[in-house]
Structure 1
Amino acid sequence: MIALDPTPYPIDHVALRGAAEAVALVDKAGTMTFAGLEAGVATLAGWLAGRGLAAGDRVATWLPKTRTACLMPLAVARAGLVHVPINSLLRRAQVAHILDDSGARLLVTQAARAGTLDAGDVPDGCTIVDEADCPLVPGPSSIGPSDADPASLAAILYTSGSTGRPKGVMLSHANLWLGAVSVAHYLKLAPADRVLAGLPLSFDYGQNQLFSTWLAGGSVAPLDYLVARDVVKAVERVAATTLAGVPPLWVQLLEAEWPAETAARLTRLTNSGGALTPRLVRGLRDRFPAADVYAMYGLTEAFRSTYLDPAMIDAKPDAMGRAIPFADIAVVKPDGTRAAPGEAGELVHAGPLVAQGYWRDAERTAQRFRPAPDGGGMAVWSGDTVVEGEDGLLRFVGRDDEMIKSAGNRISPLEVEEAVLAGNEAREAVAVGVADARLGQAIVVVLAGDASGETALRARLRTALPSFMQPGHYLWREELPRNANGKLDRSAIATQVRQSSRGNEEQGR
């Protein structure tokens, strides 16, 4: 088990953690040892340092899980720059927003992706570089491990809020390093582990799969998959011991055919991005009898807050567990006092895993990042209501904002609505998340307009939004309800949609 050393280091030092000849990466190109990982990071960092960028400039990557994509988070940090990973599933409009908001000076992508961007999508001063031109073979420009201040900015991860476009969460070297130490410790990762990394590298936990595994001296096998069968084949192909997922993926994997010997390879399953249901827990325990199941809760602004000891998951599958190492968790009532066991309150997360705020957004930073209730420094006020049981375990009660969480993705209703209203098919639109057994939540859009425009709207959104943001259903109305101020009554609309959804579900049973 990794020792809980609270001393943070520059995140690029994680490339030095494994034995030189041990395998660090398993991908389509073959295998890469830790010595090769360090050399590749040094080469990429030297190439970046020679491009005339200033310290702190942002370097964006919009890539599938290629070798370059896996090394770039460390190389950018080593070069004294700030990494902005963009979800490979995002489309032109979302990519353009992130490039503009971050002020990226460099975008590393592929020719086919770059070809989808329109004039004006790339801000002035930002250069597009094809991934094929990024060197991985050691050369004279290679540079060694950095001596960066652990408190300095290393990455900006974009995450959706309940209103507005995605916002950039600022993460320091210390945030990333201590997050890796924490996860490697409580998951008990070891050099013998091989982690199948299916989560997007633009997600905090997807990126952490690289860092925590390499910190423990283990190997990572990145995977871009289309269907559950791809995951099954990959587990066998790379001899994976560890698999991370979100609830919708577990549903799909339990429906897939698993050879007994392949299922037995997995000794560790980790879940985030939504709660596991008791039914899913039973299914995972039956299908993967050799695997410990880790249920976890977190938010990008504080990385991860709690996890449930696998020994408890059979008896208490509804629990979020206790604080992870380096996290200081409190349950706070509306009056600012600590909630007693059995009392509901807001989950507040303090400690060294708390991010540095939102990029160039002082107003939203002040709303979410506020002093801890006991004076213990800056804290993230999650907006999620939880309760601590007499057993000392936290349980989720509800979400205070209007975020839609579908297939493990946090989706802003406003961003969906903006895409819907970008054409002429509808006058007004409100996006709502409704309970869905496979997705966690499905997206329903209530529109004011003529339903005859739905075919054209669906066709347009297929090119405007990534697959996980596509609405599942459209409800057409002549007019949408308004409140006393003349504004759309979003609360009433959401209530009507969810009640209708529950009624339809009950009729279908």
Structure 2
Amino acid sequence: MLELSETISVDEIAVGLPSRIHEVTAGPVARAPDRIALVEGGASWSYRELEQRVGEIATVLSSLGIRAGDRMIIVSENCIALAALLLATSRLDAWAIVANPRLSARELDQIRDHSGARRMFFTSGTSKEAAAHASRYGAENWRIGPLAEIGVGPLNESATVQPVETDPARQVAVLIYTSGTTGTPKGVMLSHDNLLISAKTTAYFRRMNEKDKIHLVLPISHIVGISLLIMTLMVGGTVRMVSKYDPAATAKAVAEEGVTILNGVPATYQRLLEYKSVSGVEQLSRGSLRLIAVAGAPLDLNLKLRVEKEFGLPLLNGYGITECSPGISGVRFDRPRSDQAVGTLLPGVEARVRTIEGFPTVSGEVGELHVRGRNVMLGYYRAPELTAKVIDSEGWFNTGDLARFDGDCLYIVGRTKEMIIRSGFNVYPAEVEAVLSSHKDVVQSAVVGRAADGNEEIVAFVQLLPGSCTTPETLMHFVRSQLTSYKRPSEIVILDALPATSTGKILKHKLAESLREGGAAPAVQTPEFRRQHI
């Protein structure tokens, strides 16, 4: 088994790194061209087929007017066609924008207009949502090389090309639109080097090789999905494409298909445990799993323990954000932890913790996390002022996350903008959420602040297990003994479901908006709620 070195440098890891993301398949093609690269349902492509077909697709895209420096939108769920289109875009030195078809028409329009995209492409044959968007945009179905039923939108004659850079650290590979906590989309420019170094570093510490098969449930329209795709192809492994997360299907795939790695957000694992509960399965099969990992949202310790007991594997927590491609830190494969730490920094990533005013903190003190390294984005597209606010002249990127270090181990406490100041005390929502989520009937929770008479109140939104009779009063009593008075919620709202992205990340800004607008809760699956005031 590969021995890991804690002293290895990022330069050592980067040896042999290609200059473009589509080139990651070159090694596997040379070593084992018939090994399966991509699987979707009953279809599969070998590495030889993938490289050949990506070339064919790039030729057709070029004939459709896609030029080096163009932005190209791909509206698609996870599928072989999406992976091939993404790699073909790289071959042309165009910028790929992968958009989830579950976005609204307004959201897609925003991305199209802001990016100045040359064309939009839709995997109409595999997604009814993508087909609906294609129809709205007047797209026509084309065969693009080996890909059937690809909706091709009208050519934007006014689209301008961006300069093409030979240096992979300066050439944009993907443009990812993220709203963060504000709800306003920002285009994150990630270079080929950003994506490649982050993927290779993570693959190194996960000891990934050609024998690995990853169950890709996290959407490629988000940074983690793209990174997982790249790192698996880089080592010559197999990617099983999953268009929409279904816990029953995931449990079956793990049990029967030789899946070795499963990545998810906390909600991914929570739903797996819910499936086990409602289906009456005595124990979820571990199959060939050797590694399970989680990121993207605060990890409840109770959930972590339950998942680890179920699979007999440590659930490895990690931390990253879109602007950092995404890897910043992770719990090491050979050094699992029993707490909620997000591990140690990845090689090549520097970090510092500062007060909100920008002053250094003392060891162990909570402050804003700033990071620097080859993984940090080039900036926000067409937003130089916004970029300047988060990346200083020395290359330090302000994550906007509140963090602390215990030795070399990193802990994420919450978001700067989410921190609640109640009667002069700082309240970190993650702490309150951890207590609420430890209740046996709570699926997940989200805590936000609400202005009240020159102060801030704490409002908790909670989702319960189906059929639970737990009330806000019960939960108030539950937290009373575990939280000091200023950390206790002023109100608890029970919802059928919390608003979330396709990856399961809770949209706290929507919950906060509902409070400012005086409503009881956002419209999420027509929730019914009960209220409790203290």
The alignment's TM-score, normalised by the length of structure 1, stands at 0.73
CA distance in 2, matches of 1:239, 1:349: 37
| Equivalence for 1:67 | 80
CA distance in 2, matches of 1:91, 1:50: 30
| Equivalence for 1:91 | 104
| Equivalence for 2:175 | 156
Alpha-carbon shift at residue 35 of structure 1 (Å): 1.0
SS in 2 for 1:59: strand
| 2:328 equivalent among 292, 299, 305 | 305
- Mapped contact 1:281–1:314 kept (Cα < 8 A): no
Alpha-carbon shift at residue 379 of structure 1 (Å): 2.4
| Equivalence for 2:475 | none
- Mapped contact 2:328–2:346 kept (Cα < 8 A): yes
Alpha-carbon shift at residue 438 of structure 1 (Å): 7.1
Unaligned runs of 5+ in 2: 5-11, 148-163, 420-428, 434-445, 449-457, 466-498, 522-527
Q: 1:476 to 1:296 in 2, by over 3 A?
A: closer
- Mapped contact 2:101–2:129 kept (Cα < 8 A): no
Alpha-carbon RMSD across the aligned residues, in angstroms, is 4.0
SS in 2 for 1:256: helix
CA distance in 2, matches of 1:474, 1:345: 25
More deviation, 45-54/106-115? 106-115
| Equivalence for 1:263 | 286
CA distance in 2, matches of 1:102, 1:21: 38
| Equivalence for 2:115 | 102
| Equivalence for 1:327 | 349
Residues 1:385 and 2:402 are matched in the alignment? yes
| Equivalence for 1:450 | none
SS in 1 for 2:44: strand
SS in 2 for 1:235: helix
Q: 1:62 to 1:387 in 2, by over 3 A?
A: same
Equivalent residue letter for 1:359: Y
- Mapped contact 1:109–1:129 kept (Cα < 8 A): no
- Mapped contact 1:182–1:326 kept (Cα < 8 A): no
CA distance in 2, matches of 1:217, 1:382: 32
| Equivalence for 2:24 | 14
CA distance in 2, matches of 1:505, 1:32: 55
Residues 1:238 and 2:251 are matched in the alignment? no
Alpha-carbon shift at residue 61 of structure 1 (Å): 0.6
Q: 1:71 to 1:129 in 2, by over 3 A?
A: farther
| Equivalence for 1:49 | 62
Q: 1:284 to 1:310 in 2, by over 3 A?
A: farther
Q: Alignment length, in residue pairs?
A: 423
- Mapped contact 1:275–1:295 kept (Cα < 8 A): no
- Mapped contact 2:317–2:340 kept (Cα < 8 A): no
Q: 1:434 to 1:368 in 2, by over 3 A?
A: farther
Equivalent residue letter for 1:221: R
* 1:429-440 superposed matches below 5 A: 434-436=460-462
Equivalent residue letter for 1:379: W
* 1:202-221 superposed matches below 5 A: 202-221=221-240
Instruction: Report Cα offsets for 1:116-161 as digits up to 9, x if no partner.
Output: 4499x75xxxx8453x522138xxxxxxxx9953121111011113
CA distance in 2, matches of 1:356, 1:387: 26
* 1:414-425 superposed matches below 5 A: none
Alpha-carbon shift at residue 49 of structure 1 (Å): 2.1
Higher relative contact order (CA 8 A, sep 6+): 1
CA distance in 2, matches of 1:232, 1:118: 33
| Equivalence for 1:422 | none
CA distance in 2, matches of 1:47, 1:476: 45
SS in 1 for 2:417: coil
SS in 2 for 1:273: coil
CA distance in 2, matches of 1:502, 1:114: 33
| 1:367 equivalent among 379, 382, 389 | 389
Q: 1:26 to 1:476 in 2, by over 3 A?
A: closer
Equivalent residue letter for 1:4: I
CA distance in 1, matches of 2:121, 2:171: 23
- Mapped contact 2:217–2:241 kept (Cα < 8 A): yes
Equivalent residue letter for 1:325: P
| 1:252 equivalent among 245, 257, 271 | 271
SS in 2 for 1:342: coil
| Equivalence for 1:397 | 413
CA distance in 2, matches of 1:467, 1:351: 26
Alpha-carbon shift at residue 506 of structure 1 (Å): 10
Q: 1:164 to 1:433 in 2, by over 3 A?
A: farther
Identity rate, percent: 26
Equivalent residue letter for 2:109: A
- Mapped contact 1:251–1:438 kept (Cα < 8 A): no
- Mapped contact 2:401–2:415 kept (Cα < 8 A): yes
Equivalent residue letter for 1:286: K
| Equivalence for 2:246 | 227
* 1:448-487 superposed matches below 5 A: none
CA distance in 2, matches of 1:15, 1:438: 45
| Equivalence for 2:36 | 23
| Equivalence for 1:5 | 14
Alpha-carbon shift at residue 181 of structure 1 (Å): 0.7
| Equivalence for 2:375 | 353
CA distance in 2, matches of 1:401, 1:471: 11
SS in 2 for 1:88: coil
CA distance in 2, matches of 1:357, 1:346: 19
The alignment's TM-score, normalised by the length of structure 2, stands at 0.70
SS in 2 for 1:72: helix
Equivalent residue letter for 1:277: D
Instruction: Report Cα offsets for 1:441-475 as digits up to 9, x if no partner.
Output: xxxxxxxxxxxxxxxxxxxxx9xx98978999999
Q: 1:247 to 1:466 in 2, by over 3 A?
A: closer
SS in 2 for 1:209: helix
Alpha-carbon shift at residue 115 of structure 1 (Å): 5.9
Equivalent residue letter for 2:405: E
SS in 2 for 1:17: helix
